[in-house]
Structure 1
Amino acid sequence: MSAKFVFPRALKELRVHLSQTDSASQGLRNFLVKQYPALKRDNPNTPILIREALGVRPTVFARFERGRESRIHLDSVAEKDIEGSIKKLIDGGN
């Protein structure tokens, strides 16, 4: 992951849905285990919500100003590609 992963001010919330056991969520799970502390350190005022549910499709939602929301599905995406996918999601919402 980059040295800093600072979210834009327009981003009000990042929400992550994933399965605790499904192999399609493995890359996202690994990314969160390793990078969540840095994400929170670099973005202390942005809520990052992690929702685990059995069999749910791995998805990241970004909520922006005025209630606008975007999402990206991360089925079987490799851990090394998760950061780029999240950046695209966030940058596309600005």
Structure 2
Amino acid sequence: MSWRARLSHVFEEVRIVYSSKHPESSGVRNFLATSYEELKLLNPGLPVYVRCCDGIKPHISTRMSNGFYETSSVAGLDPQGIERTLQRMVQKGEEQTKKPLLGSKACQRVQFADII
């Protein structure tokens, strides 16, 4: 499965923030124009919030079900660089969800008696 289709399996939400005028956000604007529709088709239930805020550095923020947040700056990146950033965030998110939380039942070893 492509990393694009795994976005909704890893994240609870994705936020893309950019500026409508600043040159550092031109890659984000191009990425949204070319790739947003495909991402939503592959992840129809995933909330993808796109916010245009002038005077702010462009960034992508993600939230996972365990409360883990990650924010990555995409200032000055081209659309391919933004895709690589999202792909890295998906890989990191998958690793994060595999780690058991301390004190959870997943950390405790459960032993069952043999049935004879």
Work out whether the TM-score is over 0.5: yes
> 1:10, CA displacement in angstroms?
2.9
- Which structure 1 residue ranges, 4+ long, deviate > 3 Å from structure 2? none
- Corresponding position of 2:4: 5
Structure 2 alignment gaps of length 5 or more: 95-116
Partner AA of 1:10 in structure 2: V
TM-score by length of 2: 0.74
Structure 1 alignment gaps of length 5 or more: none
Contact 1:15 1:60 in 2 (8 A): yes
Q: How many residues were matched structurally?
A: 92
Partner AA of 1:83 in structure 2: E
Task: Report 1 or 2 for greater relative contact order, CA contacts < 8 Å, sequence distance ≥ 6.
Answer: 1
Say which structure is richer in strand.
1
Q: Identical aligned pairs, as a percentage?
A: 25
- Corresponding position of 2:21: 21
TM-score by length of 1: 0.90
Partner AA of 2:45 in structure 1: N
Indicate the structure (1 or 2) with the bigger Cα radius of gyration. 2
Question: Pairwise CA RMSD of aligned residues?
Answer: 1.5
Contact 1:62 1:90 in 2 (8 A): no
Partner AA of 1:45 in structure 2: G
